[in-house]
């Protein structure tokens, strides 16, 4: 297909609503890397991300009629992803926690191919510090820092006020900074 013949997102969504699996495949292709990055930012474990991402896209396929077009599609998709991650975390609380050292590295493309031992250690410290944050801080950080969403978009995804987004981001960054400083000293 040439560049001019690419179907619009609206066309793809309309086709998915009619059960068109090819249109759905195109939507998955368009968003899967961003959904994986978002889920990794919240869940911090590559195995969990794989399972939850499959769940997210199944929900999108089966519940696309719930997308009313009042927000952008990706806002709705991210909301589905954040909610699925929260549900998954609730299930995990009933199971014993895995030590951070045992958790998987991020999926391909989220870390450099060859990093120095010092860079790897810094990355491990940052991952550990983020993992210690409460979930609502991890979610807002993932949407801002990994997905690059604007504050209003984050507010739409999380269904909170702009002020809540700003305060959570400020608090998350302050907590992260404090935790990293305590690890470094």
Q: Distance between CA atoms of 84 and 90, rounded to whole angstroms?
A: 10
Q: Distance between CA atoms of 140 and 148, rounded to whole angstroms?
A: 11
Give the CB-side neighbour count of residue 130, counting CA atoms within 13 A. Answer: 20
Quote the pLDDT of residue 73.
Answer: 93
Quote the pLDDT of residue 29.
Answer: 93
At residue 13 the predicted structure's pLDDT band, cuts being 50, 70 and 90, is: very high
Q: What is each CA distance from 110 to 28, 34, 40, 41, 178, in whole angstroms? A: 18, 11, 9, 10, 24
Rounded to an integer, the average pLDDT of 51-66 is 90
Quote the pLDDT of residue 4.
Answer: 55
Q: Distance between CA atoms of 107 and 38, rounded to whole angstroms?
A: 12
Q: Is the pLDDT of residue 163 over 90?
A: yes
φ/ψ region of 149 (left if φ > 0, alpha if ψ in -120 to 50, else beta) reads: beta
CB atoms within 10 A of CB 59: 16
Q: Distance between CA atoms of 65 and 46, rounded to whole angstroms?
A: 30
Q: Which of the residue ranges 27-36, 47-56, 92-101 would you say has the lowest mean pLDDT?
A: 92-101
Give the CB-side neighbour count of residue 54, counting CA atoms within 13 A. Answer: 5
Higher pLDDT, 141 or 164: 164
Instruction: Indicate the helix (H) or strand (E) that contains 131.
Output: helix 117-132
Quote the pLDDT of residue 114.
Answer: 53
At residue 77 the predicted structure's pLDDT band, cuts being 50, 70 and 90, is: very high
Please report the domains of the chain, with CATH numbers, ordered by start residue.
1-99 (1.10.1740.10), 116-185 (1.10.10.10)
């Amino acid at each position: 297909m040439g560049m001019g013949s690419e179907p619009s997102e609206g066309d793809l969504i309309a086709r998915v609503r009619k059960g068109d699996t090819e249109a759905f495949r195109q939507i998955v292709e368009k968003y899967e890397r961003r959904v994986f990055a978002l889920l990794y930012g919240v869940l911090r474990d590559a195995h969990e991300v794989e399972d939850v991402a499959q769940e997210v896209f199944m929900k999108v396929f089966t519940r696309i009629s719930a997308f009313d077009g009042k927000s952008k599609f990706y806002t709705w998709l991210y909301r589905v992803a954040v909610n699925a991650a929260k549900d998954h975390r609730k299930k995990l609380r009933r199971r014993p926690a895995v030590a951070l050292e045992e958790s998987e590295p991020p999926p391909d493309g989220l870390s450099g191919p060859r990093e120095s031992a010092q860079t790897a250690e810094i990355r491990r410290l940052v991952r550990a510090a983020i993992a210690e944050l409460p979930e609502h801080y991890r979610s807002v950080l993932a949407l801002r820092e990994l997905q690059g969403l604007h504050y209003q978009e984050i507010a739409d995804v999380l269904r909170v006020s702009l002020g809540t987004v700003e305060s959570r981001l400020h608090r998350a960054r302050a907590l992260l900074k404090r935790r990293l400083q305590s690890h470094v000293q």
